[in-house]
Structure 1
């Protein structure tokens, strides 16, 4: 009862402060942000977070919240590591722009100059692809296309690049923007070809070290061995759960960096100071400017304040105009983490938000809340608005899942004996998959390049199966088999849209 009473009065206090600040928003950061974030962490069920605001070359706020792992009392601090996911891309793009500024390459060089074996399904497109094309996501792939094959698998970087030739591009070359992680891997391999340094060693030696980012890790393989690190979390069947660390070093230049809010503040301060640290020019201003030049139109975006404009993509950064301010930003999401980095260059404002659950949108809401405060715009409580929409979408997903589970509970029999579905399957891009007998009149599916993962298959009747992956990030789905003349020909495999939106058809070979 005491906790409920305290929460009640805290909410009243928070509402009173916010109402007052609708008149003077300048007080929000100093007086109310702490309470706002603590309230949001509870509402979003976020175990741990770290937030930093940089203004005019100085850190004006750096705070850590919550715990590194649910159920433990080890608190997050400003040096605690989080995986930053696709915020890695800005490091990769900046490194290549640095090399261009040094005259060692041109962003408009063809990839085959550095990686002669590079190919795409469209030979002409493969021959024409430049470093710039890779860095701005315009090689014709759809968003996340190929990632089921490439992400968190046992494929090497060279194997992934070779398999890109097997992806059936969703769009004509350079016709439409499509977010492509494997393109960033390929661009990162250019660094090796030009300098003789691997992507990770170049990033460490020429960005991390001179910026003083001593705790930052380039590769996911090193993350579990760090002493001061968070654990990743997601929601499984309604419960917040710690999950294993992912291993995406095969796609390292696209998303493998692990960092702290303290180290990331040094990166952001340098970017907002034309690449200078004190009197030292660590990153050339030309390289920074090159990453911020618009290359593609991503989409038309409507903000919660009602404004609508275009979102553009530079090199490793999304670009927007918001309330007459130029915004340079990117999000990062890998298993168990979502993060955001935001720059407002003319205001010399930077915002860093790190969280250790991938089931929240506070990283998105909070950046707008902080910007609105600095821009002296009305308070809108973005977190609650995002949360309401999130809950509605989750309720819809749960309702669909309940129906599928109800169908399984009815013990509907498949069209053919279970043994007919057992066997070896193959997909040209992915490789091999096997279906084996499971427990309790079920089947099990295992994938060649995900050796620790399996999928549980339960009959929905006919030739449809309700599938639950052992890795919750893969989602839940219905896999339909194609049957002809009493013989199984193939199965359609589809993982969660946040991993890949393109389905895979696996043909039965035995």
Structure 2
């Protein structure tokens, strides 16, 4: 469906990034900050290989930065009680401040396994479990059909098996709606498949599952994250609130490739889907969570999450595809992607904001180590290439090929595009002029998108206002007769999106179509009230 591809940009190619990262999931990553360049003595033979690989990995990453593969990135390795951290490159292109172990990044869907850990920790007092029905802990939540509404569980939502179409709700995020509004409107969405009969990656569904879990113990989601995980682990720079990210002096800006160079063009507020994609963190903080996961819920002698709840999150519930590199089957659990390969179990997840961020964390529980890479750009395959290089050094002696060009090509193909851009990218041979601006001016509405208002300036230029209180405003450019375009996404400022009007017998528009979400069933908005 074209609308889903379009709004990958605003929730952002998370599922594609997840599957592609599986190619590295048979691998791992490494590094540290100037005052942390000694890794200590790792215990196992694998840890000795890690220590030997790090200087070569540092050289490789520095070469990536020099080649402009990414403005900046940070890396963490955890093995036993040893932690290795480092930052490379700059926080913002053209500025002098360097990335270090305390630089805070937006990590997109890498938030999901962190949120899964929080939900597991919320089960400590027995108020609910993975099989608790959402109707018991959030009675206001509804899906389109009564049976799934009554029976959908926390597990169903965190494993993307509720029937919700993939990425539904993300277009509302693009328009500026808040979390409560997006979750409430899911009841309008017809299922894409039978309840528990398939898998589609749903940020909004995941968000509801986590928010309901927090409500089960009387907490707001952000409070639960701080109380159950970030606070106890000392993750002082980590938050589920976008405002906290903006308040960090040492933060990495988002970057996109525009005019053939990295530019910090976009700010992206992730509050509306915080459990699914709203974490901002540093590799120093992230290493604390990684240590907890490798310790099966125990850190510094304290148990923060029930072992059985964490183990359940790593159980395969859906087969979601194949590893694009090695071909191994890939499964999804509860906020985790899972592979069972030659190196034992692999728990992993990637994140991507096409507004300008990439992230990846991979755990090898049977070998006792984990790795995370955070970067401040999209499209880039740097996290995957770093993982490939490191694992090759650790497990195969470093004779494998450099994969950066392959991964860069894959992620470049995912830059968000409007499916209607092919229709609006060039003018037709025969053009028809528009009607009078007043034929289009008015208020349009449907229950899912909400209200859209079209106004005209004194010189006849039409303007479209969408979202809460018309907060998203874009000028409309005439294309042909009753078709117009607008530029929705700041990360692709030259990509047109289509709007078309349907003209009634009175010569004025009776409805409008937002072309790129028409296939979802919600693109058509009817005129409300009389024409001017």
Deviations 1:277-300 (A, max 9, x none): 232223332232121011112223
| Residues 79 and 228, structure 1, Cα contact 8 Å, conserved in 2 | yes
Going from structure 1 to structure 2, the CA distance change for 1:42 and 1:453 (only over 3 Å counts) comes to farther
Deviations 1:240-266 (A, max 9, x none): 322343223232222222110111011
How many residues matched? 477
Q: Which residue of 442, 447, 464 corresponds with 1:423? A: 442
Query: For residues 179-218 of structure 1, what are the structure 2 equivalents within 5 Å?
Result: 179-218=201-240
CA shift at 1:129, angstroms? 0.8
SS of the aligned residue for 1:326 comes to strand
**Worse-matched range after superposition: 235-244 or 331-340:** 235-244
CA shift at 1:229, angstroms? 1.4
| Residues 313 and 333, structure 2, Cα contact 8 Å, conserved in 1 | yes
Going from structure 1 to structure 2, the CA distance change for 1:297 and 1:505 (only over 3 Å counts) comes to farther
Q: Which residue of 1 aligns with 2:401?
A: 380
| Residues 40 and 362, structure 1, Cα contact 8 Å, conserved in 2 | yes
Going from structure 1 to structure 2, the CA distance change for 1:450 and 1:402 (only over 3 Å counts) comes to farther
Mapped to 1, the partners of 2:410 and 2:212 lie a distance apart of 41
Q: Which residue of 114, 127, 144 corresponds with 1:104? A: 127
Q: Which residue of 364, 374, 377 corresponds with 1:344? A: 364
- The answer to whether the aligner puts 1:271 opposite 2:293 as a matched pair is yes
SS of the aligned residue for 1:302 comes to coil
Mapped to 2, the partners of 1:29 and 1:442 lie a distance apart of 60
Going from structure 1 to structure 2, the CA distance change for 1:424 and 1:113 (only over 3 Å counts) comes to same
Deviations 1:362-389 (A, max 9, x none): 2233333323333327513221111234
- The answer to whether the aligner puts 1:119 opposite 2:145 as a matched pair is no
Going from structure 1 to structure 2, the CA distance change for 1:215 and 1:423 (only over 3 Å counts) comes to same
CA shift at 1:471, angstroms? 3.0
Q: Which has the higher contact order (CA 8 A, sep 6+)?
A: 2
Mapped to 2, the partners of 1:151 and 1:28 lie a distance apart of 45
Going from structure 1 to structure 2, the CA distance change for 1:438 and 1:379 (only over 3 Å counts) comes to farther
- The answer to whether the aligner puts 1:479 opposite 2:503 as a matched pair is no
Mapped to 2, the partners of 1:452 and 1:421 lie a distance apart of 20
Deviations 1:332-368 (A, max 9, x none): 2343322111111111221111111232222233333
Query: For residues 30-179 of structure 1, what are the structure 2 equivalents within 5 Å?
Result: 30-43=54-67, 45-59=69-83, 61-150=84-173, 153-155=176-178, 157-179=179-201
Deviations 1:102-137 (A, max 9, x none): 422121111111111111111221111111111111
Mapped to 2, the partners of 1:151 and 1:459 lie a distance apart of 23
Going from structure 1 to structure 2, the CA distance change for 1:489 and 1:324 (only over 3 Å counts) comes to farther
Mapped to 2, the partners of 1:439 and 1:283 lie a distance apart of 61
Give ranges in structure 1 of 5+ residues lacking alignment. 1-24
Mapped to 1, the partners of 2:301 and 2:147 lie a distance apart of 46
Q: Which residue of 2 aligns with 1:447?
A: 466
Going from structure 1 to structure 2, the CA distance change for 1:428 and 1:483 (only over 3 Å counts) comes to same
- Normalised to the residue count of structure 1, the TM-score between the two structures is 0.84
Going from structure 1 to structure 2, the CA distance change for 1:160 and 1:401 (only over 3 Å counts) comes to closer
Mapped to 1, the partners of 2:458 and 2:403 lie a distance apart of 46
- Normalised to the residue count of structure 2, the TM-score between the two structures is 0.80
SS of the aligned residue for 1:100 comes to helix
- The answer to whether the aligner puts 1:224 opposite 2:246 as a matched pair is yes
Query: For residues 351-362 of structure 1, what are the structure 2 equivalents within 5 Å?
Result: 351-362=371-382
Give ranges in structure 2 of 5+ residues lacking alignment. 1-48
CA-based RMSD: 3.2
Q: Which residue of 2 aligns with 1:29?
A: 53
Q: Which residue of 1 aligns with 2:275?
A: 253
